[in-house]
Every structure is written in structure tokens, then in C-alpha cells.
């Protein structure tokens, strides 16, 4: 291919990257404007710090207690990641079995729905009684809250293959494994990743709820401690750190989605939307 033919392609790729960079800058500017309005409004109307501290005070207090916050962030992150990965490893194979077994769908799936309806905050004290105050009950609560969205989305994905496509594949001599690898799994991946992203967003909530019930460490414990001391600035700081952890988990899943299914229409629409920015 000549240099002339590759030049328009390179220029187009550079243009898309520049537009994405501008979009990210707009997002940063939006948050900066929000923080400036927050800072100015609090100081202008002289709102007491115990009600609504300005962002500058939150940032300075976070820096002053960063070592302790970082240690507890690591603990909560371990609970989130371990529980989330356990949910992924269990729910996707289980969804595959339920999707292709009428018996499993009629017996196991209603039980899963029942356990999802039960409030998780009500189950947390039982985990404390059964497993003590250590790492295990937190992991189990994150697992339970992350499990159901992945199962439901994965079942829908595995059942979404058009029967005519399967018949065509069988007519060409494709075996069950080839059909699964080339057709069933690619068709299911977009739905599976939808469930994975929903579960990623819920995992941080589950970890904090577990730490609320019984814990002497973690970000949930810090929230209770700072709230009890009326240290509102550190409550905000802990919430921000917890939100960042949840966002990181979510965007790691989204990055894996971009790598595994770049061909999906959602990825194409996102790249096309960047062209209009």
C-alpha cells in the first residue's frame, strides 16, 4: 500500500483521537466547574463545614489522613475484587447450564430469583454468625449482590442466538463445540458484559454494606467512624475514594469488553459518536 493511500487513514485515526481527547477534557472541565461552584457557594453563603464542607477542605483533610484511608481502601478493594471474581467464575458457567437445560431452568433458576428478592442487609448478620467477623462474610455479600445480574444477562445472551443461524451451521457440518465457540459465545458476550458492568457497579455497595454490619476496618468502617465524629469532610472524602474504586472496577470490565468484542454495535456507535464531537 502506498504512502498516499495510508495518509487519509492515519489522518482519520488522528482526528478520532483528538476528538476523544477533547471529550475527556470537557468532562474534566465539567467536574472542575462543579467543584468551583461548590467551593464558591459554600463560602459565599457561609455554610457550616459540618453540614457541607468545601472541596478544598475535603482534599486537605484527605491528604492529612491519607495513610489510614489508603490502608482501608486496600482492604475494601480486596473484598470487592474477590467477591466479584467469585461471582463471575460461578455465575457464567451456571447461566450456561440453565440456558441449555430445561430441568435446571425450572428448578435452580427460581431458587436464584428467590435469594435475589431477599434483602442482602438481612442476610449479612447470618454471615457474621456463621463465618465470624473476618474477610469471608464480606466476600460472600459482594458475591451475592454481583451474582444475579451476571446470571440473568448471561442466560439471556446464551438464548439470543437465532435458530436459523444454528441450523445453517449444523448443515455445514459444524459440531457442538465449534457452534458454541464460533456462534453461541460471540452472540452471548454483549449480554454477558452488560451483566458484568452492572455487577461491577454493585460490588462496591455490597462491600460497604458488609462493613457497616460488622467490621473494624475498611472504607465502610471509616464512614461510620467519621460520621459518628461529625467529621463531614472525611465522610465526603471516603465516599469519593470509594466511588473511584468502584469506577476503576467498572472501567476495567469495560476495557476487557472493548478488547474482546470490538466488533459489537455498541462499540461501533461509541466510536462513531466521537466523530461528531
| Chain segment 109-127, per-residue pLDDT in tens | 888 888 888 887 778 788 8
Task: With a cut of 80, say whether residue 11 has pLDDT above it.
Answer: no
Task: With a cut of 60, say whether residue 275 has pLDDT above it.
Answer: no
pLDDT one-digit tens code per residue, 26-63:
767 887 888 889 888 888 888 888 888 999 899 999 99
Q: Number of C-alpha atoms within 13 angstroms, CB side, residue 211?
A: 25
DSSP characters over 208-276 = HHHHHHS-SSSHHHHHHHHHHTT-HHHHHHHHHHHHHHHHHHHHHHHHHHHHH-TTSHHHHHHHHHHHT
pLDDT at 250: 93
Tell me how many degrees the CA angle 162-167-168 measures, rounded to the nearest 5: 100
pLDDT one-digit tens code per residue, 197-251:
999 989 988 888 888 887 888 999 999 999 988 899 999 999 999 999 999 999 9
Alpha-carbon span 14 to 231, nearest angstrom = 47
Sequence-distant (6+) residues with CB within 8 A of 158 are 95, 96, 99, 100, 184, 188
Name the DSSP letter for residue 161: S
| pLDDT band at residue 276 using 50, 70 and 90 as cut-offs | very low
pLDDT one-digit tens code per residue, 119-165:
877 787 888 888 877 888 889 999 999 999 999 999 999 988 877 88
The residue ranking higher by pLDDT, 167 or 157, is 157
pLDDT one-digit tens code per residue, 237-274:
999 999 999 999 999 999 999 898 887 655 555 555 44
pLDDT at 16: 56
The residue ranking higher by pLDDT, 145 or 8, is 145
Sequence-distant (6+) residues with CB within 8 A of 31 are none
Q: For 54-275, CATH number? A: 1.10.3720.10
Is residue 208 within 8 Å of 123, Cβ to Cβ? Answer: no
Q: Identify the weakest region by mean pLDDT among 19-28, 166-175, 232-241.
A: 19-28
Three-state SS annotation for 167-212: HHHHHCCCCHHHHHHHHHHHHHHHHHHHHHHHHHHHHHHHHHHHHH
pLDDT at 274: 46
The residue ranking higher by pLDDT, 15 or 209, is 209
pLDDT at 73: 95
Q: Report the 10 Å Cβ neighbour count for 147.
A: 24
| pLDDT band at residue 20 using 50, 70 and 90 as cut-offs | low
DSSP characters over 82-102 = HHHHHHHHHHHHHHHHHHT-H
Nearest-CA neighbor of 154 among 112, 119, 207? 112
Report helix, strand and coil shares of the chain as percent, to nearest 5.
85, 0, 15
Q: Identify the weakest region by mean pLDDT among 17-21, 194-198, 222-226.
A: 17-21
Amino acid at each position: 500500500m502506498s504512502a498516499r493511500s495510508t495518509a487519509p487513514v492515519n489522518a482519520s485515526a488522528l482526528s478520532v483521537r483528538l476528538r476523544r481527547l477533547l471529550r475527556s477534557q470537557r468532562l474534566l472541565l465539567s467536574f472542575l466547574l462543579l467543584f468551583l461552584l461548590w467551593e464558591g457557594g459554600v463560602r459565599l453563603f457561609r455554610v457550616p463545614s459540618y453540614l457541607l464542607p468545601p472541596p478544598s477542605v475535603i482534599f486537605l483533610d484527605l491528604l492529612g489522613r491519607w495513610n489510614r484511608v489508603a490502608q482501608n481502601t486496600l482492604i475494601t478493594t480486596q473484598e470487592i475484587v474477590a467477591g466479584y471474581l467469585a461471582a463471575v467464575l460461578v455465575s457464567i458457567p451456571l447461566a450456561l447450564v440453565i440456558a441449555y437445560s430445561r430441568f435446571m431452568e425450572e428448578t435452580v433458576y427460581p431458587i436464584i430469583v428467590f435469594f435475589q428478592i431477599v434483602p442482602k442487609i438481612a442476610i449479612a448478620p447470618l454471615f457474621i454468625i456463621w463465618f465470624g467477623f473476618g474477610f469471608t462474610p464480606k466476600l460472600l455479600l459482594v458475591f451475592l449482590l454481583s451474582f444475579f445480574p451476571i446470571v440473568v444477562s448471561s442466560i439471556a445472551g446464551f438464548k439470543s442466538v437465532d435458530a436459523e443461524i444454528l441450523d445453517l451451521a449444523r448443515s455445514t457440518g459444524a459440531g457442538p463445540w465449534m457452534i458454541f465457540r464460533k456462534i453461541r459465545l460471540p452472540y452471548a458476550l454483549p449480554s454477558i458484559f452488560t451483566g458484568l458492568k452492572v455487577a461491577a457497579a454493585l460490588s462496591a455497595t455490597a462491600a460497604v454494606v458488609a462493613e457497616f454490619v460488622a467490621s473494624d476496618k475498611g472504607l465502610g468502617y471509616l464512614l461510620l467512624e467519621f460520621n459518628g465524629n461529625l467529621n463531614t469532610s472525611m465522610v465526603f472524602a471516603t465516599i469519593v475514594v470509594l466511588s473511584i474504586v468502584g469506577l476503576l472496577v467498572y472501567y476495567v470490565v469495560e476495557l476487557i469488553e472493548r478488547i474482546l468484542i470490538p466488533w459489537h454495535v455498541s462499540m461501533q456507535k461509541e466510536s462513531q459518536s466521537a466523530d461528531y464531537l
